[in-house]
């Protein structure tokens, strides 16, 4: 019991400290903005990491769910006069349903086939968002109204920093609990060997589908936050590059490491921002970063570091 | 009828390019199990390098030759500098490396070249050929002919030369190939080089029709990948048939349904094919060994 308490409380406490301490180093609202973006992406990455790191299923189309969440909070208030928070929930439910419908057939696929199927799904969402201009404003995107909570208008980078940080911690706790449950262990068994897991009586298809839906909901909520925070969205939010960025964050941070989500998101949000001084070189540097990290820290930053650390301690 | 013929012509032209990209995927995949997402960038490099050399006053044939050579060098470098050092990593890591390479090459291209669209002069002028009420650009015939020549040459190479057989052996069973003395690392080198060269050629011949810019690679890579999947990944004839089919489907969709959704339909069809017959049209079913 004590051990369980320890293993659950410490990461949580560490995260809370990070969220609270980080602003001490912020010198402007811009830094809060970056911080908020890190937490928002980390939220999506935690979900995707459940799918990739724990269940061992790749998705190259997760930005599709980011897009569904983002456009839900844009379209809901504009066309249906729904409150933004309710639209966020609608988006999450919608993403869950879409994940269920899409996931049922395609999660039977493995490896590269799964990669291309999820990729196809993501690209489809982006194409629909681009073409249904009557609803989405087409390639130019659309404006998103402010989030109102109990009559209080949520705006400003600092407010969003705290909201995103708190949401990330909640998402982290839920994910950590899931990993540590019988369901989570079943997922890891699937990761190791599907056949063996099936022999143990695990309903592999159902477990994979459940985790796909969960990860879709994480991405959807993150997408909604992104849209509400930015106040404007374009179909790029659901694009192939975004999906790649999400996967890169998972792999960079370390697959199967819940902490890795934050590190991966932080690296890939902060570095490009830091590099905007070399505006023309942004893409080239981003590509180079991804390559270099993948080659030299192939297990991801957090697992590589913790391996190095425990080796050094011994 | 003339309309249908018109759509088929344009579908075949685009399909030939998808087929070549898909073929490039297949070559690398067979030799190394790697899905190379930078395949589309080879096409872009072929086109862009030629465009800029021609603009600098280099005669077109020489420019094309240099472009193919440079792109081949990029392909080799990609393998040596990025893929080799990460040997033995998980498939996802390797996919991410090639995607990183693709973003990197695109980034470099927009620095060295520019962000505008470019064209090349057609080889045999731009006077359309009339046929059965439909028209076809002479360059489309060039694309089809070049694609056919590449496919035949590749087939001859695989069937008739020792090196080709070594490639086939490596694809069939890497360990066994190494045991009988094939330097499989060289074979993978070679596959990257050939894939890059094929991509570059495709980029050069198609530029007069579809134009090129630094970012044409992504969609081409996705479509080529889709073509390879449709045909059954690992099967070279599959990639060619898959590419042509995809091109035709796209052209017909654009013509009869909606040109906005032509990309969507090809991805939709890929999803359906994957779900209904995951091994593709020509692939073999795989059984997991426990």
Residue pLDDT, tens place only, A8-35:
677 778 888 888 888 888 888 888 889 9
Predicted confidence (pLDDT) at residue A58 exceeds the cutoff of 80 = yes
d(CA A54, CA A206): 15
Residues of A in contact with B111 (CB under 8 A): 280-281, 284
Answer yes or no: are the C-beta atoms of A187 and A207 closer than 8 Å: yes
Q: Is pLDDT larger for residue A204 or for residue B193?
A: B193
* Helix axes B138-160 and B162-172, enclosed angle (nearest 10): 80
Closest Cα of chain A to B253: distance in Å? Answer: 15
The yes-or-no verdict on residue A314 having pLDDT over 60 is no
Chain segment B45-102, per-residue pLDDT in tens: 999 999 999 999 999 999 999 999 999 999 999 999 999 888 877 777 888 899 899 9
Cross-chain Cβ contact A52/B274 below 8 Å: no
Listed in sequence order, the DSSP H helices in A107-203 are 111-131, 133-136, 157-179, 182-192, 194-199
**Cα B69 to chain center, whole Å?**
16
Of A112, A280, A295, Cβ closest to residue B35 = A112
B-interface mutation test, from A112, A132, A197, A252, most B Cβ less than 10 A away: A112
Q: Which residue range(s) make up the domain with A45?
A: 2-245
Tokens of A308: 């190095």
* Chain B residues with beta carbon closer than 8 angstroms to that of A106: 271, 274-275
What is the C-alpha separation between A207 and A198, in angstroms, rounded? 11
Chain B residues within 8 A of A124 when measuring between CB atoms: 264, 267-268, 271
**pLDDT at A286 (0 to 100):** 82
pLDDT level of residue A188 (50, 70, 90 thresholds):
confident
pLDDT one-digit tens code per residue, A131-167:
888 888 888 888 888 777 776 777 778 888 999 999 9
- Residue A297 belongs to a domain: no
Residue A1 pLDDT:
42
Structural domain count, chain A:
1
Out of A241, A251, A280, closest to residue B93 by CB: A251
Tell whether A205 is covered by a domain.
yes
Q: How many CB atoms lie within 10 A of CB A233?
A: 25
Of residues A49, A199, A117, the one with CA closest to residue B288: A199
Question: pTM for this one?
Answer: 0.85
**Residues B157-180: what's their mean pLDDT?**
87
Beta-carbon contacts below 8 Å between A and B: 136
Q: What are phi and psi of A274, to 5 degrees?
A: -65, -25
Q: Which residue has the higher pLDDT, A155 or B147?
A: B147
Closest CA to B189 of B169, B167, B172, B168: B167
Judge whether residue A67 has pLDDT over 60: yes
pLDDT at A274: 76
Interface list for chain B against chain A, based on CB atoms closer than 8 Å: 35, 82, 85-86, 89-93, 95-97, 99-108, 110-111, 218, 222, 225-226, 229, 233, 260-261, 263-264, 267-268, 270-271, 274-275, 278, 288, 290
Q: Which residues of A touch B268 (CB under 8 A)?
A: 120, 124
Q: Which of residues 208-267 of A touch B (CB under 8 A)?
A: 240-241, 244, 247-248, 251, 255
Q: What is the mean pLDDT of residues B170-178?
A: 86
Q: Which range has highest mean pLDDT (A98-107, A129-138, A265-274, B280-289)?
A: A98-107
Q: What is the pLDDT of residue B167?
A: 87
ipTM reported for the complex surpasses 0.95: no
Q: Of B103, B216, B272, which to mutate for an interface test with A (greatest number of A Cβ within 10 Å)?
A: B103
SS3 at position A1:
coil
Q: Do B103 and A298 touch (CB under 8 A)?
A: no
Please give the pLDDT value at position B290. 47
User: What DSSP designation does A239 have?
Assistant: S
Return the top range by mean pLDDT from A121-135, A217-231, B274-288. Answer: A217-231
Please indicate whether, in this complex, the C-beta atoms of A284 and B104 are within 8 angstroms of each other: yes
Contacts of A288 in chain B (CB under 8 A): 100, 104
pLDDT at A117 over 90: no
Averaged over A260-271, what is the pLDDT? 87
A117 and B270 within 8 Å at the Cβ level: the answer is yes
What band does A261 get if pLDDT is binned at 50, 70 and 90? confident
Checking if the pLDDT of A6 tops 70, the result is no
Query: Residue range B19-36: average pLDDT?
Result: 89
pLDDT per position as a tens digit, A201-223: 788 888 889 999 999 999 999 99
Q: Does A286 touch chain B (CB under 8 A)?
A: yes
Which of B101, B267, B274 shows the shortest C-beta gap to A113?
B274
Residue A73 has pLDDT above 80, yes or no: yes
How far is B205 from A26, CA to CA, in rounded Å? 53
Q: Is A120 on the interface with B (CB under 8 A)?
A: yes
The mean pLDDT of B142-154, rounded to a whole number, is 92
Distance from the B85 Cα atom to the nearest Cα atom in chain A, whole angstroms? 7
Q: Which residues of A touch B110 (CB under 8 A)?
A: 280, 283
Question: Does residue A218 contact residue A43 with C-beta atoms inside 8 Å?
Answer: yes
Residue A103 confidence (pLDDT) above 70: yes
Q: Is the pLDDT of residue A272 over 80?
A: no
Interface probe, candidates B94, B104, B106, B238, chain A, greatest A C-beta count within 10 A: B104
pLDDT at A41: 94
Q: Which residue, B109, B110, B84, B106, is CA-closest to B97?
A: B84
| Averaged pLDDT of chain B | 87
Q: Which residues pair with A148 in a beta bridge?
A: A153
pLDDT at B238 over 80: yes
Provide the pLDDT for residue B257. Answer: 83
Residue from A204, A294, A304 whose CB has the most chain B CBs within 10 Å, to mutate: A294
Q: Which of the given ranges, A72-86, A246-260, B90-104, B188-202, has the highest pLDDT on average?
A: B188-202
Q: Is A281 on the interface with B (CB under 8 A)?
A: yes
Decide which of B221 and B199 is more confident. B199
pLDDT at site A2:
47
Question: Scanning the structure block, which residue is given the tokens 């599959």?
Answer: B238
Q: Which residue has the tokens 């059984």?
A: B287
3-class SS at B135? Answer: strand
- Given a cut of 80, whether residue A112 has pLDDT beyond it is no
Which residues does chain A have within 8 Å of residue B90's beta carbon, measured at their own beta carbons?
A: 298
Q: Is residue A95 very low, low, confident or very high in pLDDT (cuts 50, 70, 90)?
A: very high
Answer whether residue A86 is part of any domain: yes
Contact B102 A295 (CB under 8 A): no
- Average pLDDT of span A232-240: 88
Indicate whether A256 pLDDT > 80: no
Angle between helices B39-55 and B184-210 in degrees, nearest 10? 60
Tell me if the domain spanning B2-276 has CATH number 1.10.3470. Answer: yes
Would an 8 Å CB–CB cutoff place A301 in contact with chain B? no
- What's the rounded mean pLDDT across residues A259-287? 81
Cβ within 8 Å of B, A 121-180: 121, 123-124, 127-128, 131
């Amino acid at each position: 019991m004590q051990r369980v308490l320890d293993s659950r409380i410490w990461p949580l406490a560490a995260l809370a400290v990070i969220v609270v301490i980080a602003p001490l180093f912020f010198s402007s609202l811009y830094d809060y903005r970056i911080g908020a973006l890190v937490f928002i992406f980390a939220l999506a990455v935690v979900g995707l990491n459940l799918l990739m790191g724990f269940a061992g299923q790749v998705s190259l189309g997760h930005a599709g769910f980011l897009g569904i969440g983002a456009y839900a909070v844009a379209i809901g208030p504009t066309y249906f006069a729904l409150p933004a928070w309710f639209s966020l929930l609608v988006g999450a439910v919608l993403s869950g349903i879409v994940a269920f419908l899409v996931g049922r057939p395609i999660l039977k696929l493995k490896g590269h086939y799964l990669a291309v199927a999820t990729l196809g799904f993501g690209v489809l969402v982006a194409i629909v968002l681009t073409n249904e201009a009557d609803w989405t404003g087409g390639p130019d995107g659309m404006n998103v109204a402010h989030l109102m909570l109990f009559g209080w208008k949520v705006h400003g980078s600092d407010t969003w920093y705290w909201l995103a940080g708190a949401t990330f911690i909640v998402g982290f706790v839920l994910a950590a609990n899931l990993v540590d449950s019988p369901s989570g262990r079943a997922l890891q068994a699937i990761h190791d060997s599907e056949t063996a897991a099936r022999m143990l009586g695990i309903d592999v298809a159902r477990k994979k589908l459940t985790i796909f839906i969960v990860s879709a909901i994480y991405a959807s909520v993150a997408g909604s936050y992104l849209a509400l925070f930015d106040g404007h969205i374009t179909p790029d939010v659901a694009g192939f590059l975004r999906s790649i960025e999400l996967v890169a964050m998972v792999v960079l941070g370390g697959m199967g490491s819940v902490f890795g989500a934050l590190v991966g998101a932080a690296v890939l949000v902060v570095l490009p921002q830091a590099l905007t001084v070399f505006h023309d070189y942004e893409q080239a540097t981003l590509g180079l970063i991804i390559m270099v990290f993948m080659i030299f820290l192939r297990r991801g930053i957090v697992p590589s570091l913790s391996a190095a650390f425990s080796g050094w301690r011994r | 009828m003339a309309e249908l013929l018109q759509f088929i012509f344009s579908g075949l032209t685009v399909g030939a390019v998808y087929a070549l990209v898909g073929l490039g995927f297949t070559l690398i995949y067979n030799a190394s199990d790697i899905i190379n997402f930078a395949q589309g960038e080879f096409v872009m490099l072929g086109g862009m390098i030629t465009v800029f050399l021609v603009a600098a006053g280099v005669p077109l044939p020489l420019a094309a030759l240099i472009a193919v050579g440079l792109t081949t060098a990029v392909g080799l470098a990609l393998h040596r500098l990025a893929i080799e050092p990460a040997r033995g990593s998980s498939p996802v890591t390797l996919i991410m490396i090639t995607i990183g390479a693709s973003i990197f090459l695109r980034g470099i291209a927009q620095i060295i070249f520019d962000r505008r669209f470019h064209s090349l002069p057609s080889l045999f002028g731009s006077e359309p050929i009339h046929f059965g009420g439909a028209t076809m650009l002479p360059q489309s015939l060039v694309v089809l002919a070049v694609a056919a020549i590449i496919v035949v040459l590749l087939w001859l190479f695989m069937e008739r030369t020792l090196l080709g057989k070594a490639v086939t052996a490596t694809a069939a069973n890497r360990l066994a190939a190494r045991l009988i003395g094939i330097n499989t690392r060289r074979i993978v080198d070679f596959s990257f080089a050939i894939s890059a060269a094929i991509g570059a050629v495709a980029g050069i011949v198609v530029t007069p029709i579809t134009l090129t810019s630094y970012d044409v690679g992504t969609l081409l890579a996705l479509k080529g990948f889709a073509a390879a999947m449709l045909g059954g990944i690992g099967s070279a004839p599959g990639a060619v048939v898959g590419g042509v089919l995809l091109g035709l489907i796209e052209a017909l969709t654009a013509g009869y349904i909606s040109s906005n959704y032509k990309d969507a339909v090809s991805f939709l069809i890929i999803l359906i094919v994957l779900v209904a017959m995951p091994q593709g049209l020509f692939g073999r079913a795989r059984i997991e060994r426990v």
